[in-house]
Amino acid sequence: MAMWKQAPGLTRAAFVWVVGFGVLATVWYVAEVIRDPGGVAGGLLSAAVVAAIVLLTLVVLRLPDASGRILDGAVVVVVALAVLGAFTSVTTGWGPGTAVAAFVVAVPIAFLGLREPRHAAILLLVAGVAPLLERVGRALSQGEGPVLHGIGGSAGAVALPLIVGGVLFLLAGRVDRRML
């Protein structure tokens, strides 16, 4: 893969971090939904998440000129889910929707980061903060415990690795710019 060969070491490290997390998060999610709700619903949820990751990654690989804008739109969807989840109970019935959406976009963003580390950094930071903002918003608007309640759950488990990946890509972008 040409993108990998041309990417500096810190960019590669950020890529491996985010993709490694994405693989682990996907395996965890599939195991969870196979158990609960299980059956056809669990199989369909699993297939939908894996298909979304694969399709968005293929977009980044096959349509490099449009992929940044497409991933911008995908992250806007993650933020919209966070806002919706913060002020309504619409998303609470189907699990940690914003956290799942955030890790779904993470792997394709990592592939974008091999070419555009600064753009990937911003997208990962926004996607990583979204589940945290949803939890804080829900605590404030719906009285779901203390403001930081739930940050140690799915929201925090997804947010921290994405934010770290975003910081790594941000540093990689700064180092890459200095080398030019």
pLDDT tens, position by position, 94-134? 568 899 999 999 999 999 999 999 999 999 999 999 999 98
Distance CA(141)–CA(158), nearest Å, equals 22
- The residue written with tokens 């919209």 in the block is 80
Residue range 43-56, pLDDT digits in tens: 999 999 999 999 99
Largest interatomic CA distance in the chain: 53
Instruction: Please give the C-alpha separations between residue 40 and each of 26, 37, 46, 64, 171, in angstroms, as whole numbers.
Output: 18, 9, 10, 35, 43
As to burial, measured by CB atoms within 10 angstroms (0-12 exposed, 13-18 middle, 19+ buried), residue 37 is middle
Distance CA(132)–CA(19), nearest Å, equals 21
Q: What residue ranges in 7-148 does DSSP mark as E strands?
A: none
pLDDT band at 93 (very low <50, low <70, confident <90, very high): low
> Residue ranges of the alpha helices (H) in the chain?
2-6, 9-35, 39-62, 64-87, 97-115, 117-142, 154-179
Q: Domain residue spans in the chain?
A: 9-175
Q: Is the pTM above the cut of 0.85?
A: yes
